[in-house]
Amino acid sequence: MAEEILGIDVGGSGIKGAPVNVQTGELTGERLRIKTPQPATPEAMTDTMAEIAKHFNWKGKIGVGFPAVVKQGTMYTAANVDPSWIGTNGQALIEKKTGCPVSIINDADAAGLAELRFGAGKGKMGSVMMITLGTGIGVGYYVDGRLVPNTELGHLIVDGKDIETRASAGVREKKDLSWKKWGKLLTEYFQELERLLWPDLFIIGGGVSDEFDKLAPYIEIQTPIVPAQMLNLAGIVGAALAAEGEIGRKRGVKDA
């Protein structure tokens, strides 16, 4: 029987969850979205995650995609959530509140796993960059299908400033940037990524993925660039996929 895992995608504005069939990448229940509590502290946010698990009456594995550097369950950064997340073991906290085994990885890393398995990056070898444009800018980087975790290239300094503070979808909304202006900023950013890493494919995720044709004419780069196919579900599905292989296994540097 196909394994089902509860995928939870944590964002700066919403926390979304649904059970996922990890063989097919399909949701087996309707997605639930709850507003990210403010302040976005570990206690408040993990209460929301537990509420999602309770809603689905969940007893099995849970995979979480979280907007920070995550190593062995612990957060090392907190760009768009409360700084008290730094040093917190999110995995242990969610396990305590849900009673379920939990695996937690970076949100963009998770979204790319789903696109590589089922979406715009299916079967792609070489180096693929999944870029999520949301409250922040997230990057998942894959080489021949394998994830290089926690790259945090959404904080690249372009023109003297952290690019996330100039070109995220959140900033675009706040400043009401036109497609042309946003495209110009993103072009600068993608060109910098090209100059340093020479990827073979960019996949663009986040809300813009379903109106990518409006942005595309203003992106001037040499690397092929395509919108994510799983739209706003990639984060949930990818979080579940990551949990499939990770629960019960330790992450990080291992002895040979």
* Binding of residue 152 to ligand BGC (CB under 6 A): yes
Separation between Cα atoms, residue 7 and residue 22, nearest integer Å = 10
- Residue closer to ligand BGC by CB (options 58, 121) is 121
Separation between Cα atoms, residue 250 and residue 74, nearest integer Å = 13
* Binding of residue 114 to ligand BGC (CB under 6 A): no
Q: What count of Cα atoms within 13 Å lies in the side-chain half-sphere of residue 112? A: 31
Residue from 134, 170, 199, 227 touching ligand BGC (CB under 6 A): that is: 134
Beta-bridge partners for 35: 14
- Residue closer to ligand BGC by CB (options 56, 190) is 190
- Residue closer to ligand BGC by CB (options 10, 225) is 10
Residue from 48, 80, 151, 229 touching ligand BGC (CB under 6 A): that is: 80
72 contacts 252 by C-beta, under 8 angstroms: yes
> Minimal distance in Å, beta carbon 25 to ligand BGC?
21
* Binding of residue 164 to ligand BGC (CB under 6 A): yes
Residues 6+ apart with CB under 8 A from 156: 162, 163, 189, 192, 193
Q: What is the DSSP letter of 192?
A: H
The span of 25-33, 101-109, 179-187, 217-225 binding ligand BGC (CB under 6 A) equals 101-109
Question: How many residues at the interface with ligand BGC, by CB under 6 A?
Answer: 17
Separation between Cα atoms, residue 34 and residue 80, nearest integer Å = 17
> Minimal distance in Å, beta carbon 186 to ligand BGC?
15
* Binding of residue 112 to ligand BGC (CB under 6 A): no
Q: Which residue is nearest to ligand BGC (CB)?
A: 136
131 CB-contact burial (10 Å; exposed 0-12 / middle 13-18 / buried 19+): buried
> Minimal distance in Å, beta carbon 225 to ligand BGC?
18
151 contacts 117 by C-beta, under 8 angstroms: no
DSSP H or E stretch at residue 197? helix 179-197
Beta-bridge partners for 142: 128, 147
Separation between Cα atoms, residue 242 and residue 84, nearest integer Å = 25
Residue from 46, 88, 103, 106 touching ligand BGC (CB under 6 A): that is: 106
* Binding of residue 154 to ligand BGC (CB under 6 A): yes
147 contacts 113 by C-beta, under 8 angstroms: yes
- Residue closer to ligand BGC by CB (options 124, 155) is 155
Residue from 98, 132, 151, 209 touching ligand BGC (CB under 6 A): that is: 132
Give the binding site for ligand BGC (CB under 6 A). 67-69, 77, 79-80, 106-108, 132, 134, 136-138, 152, 154, 164
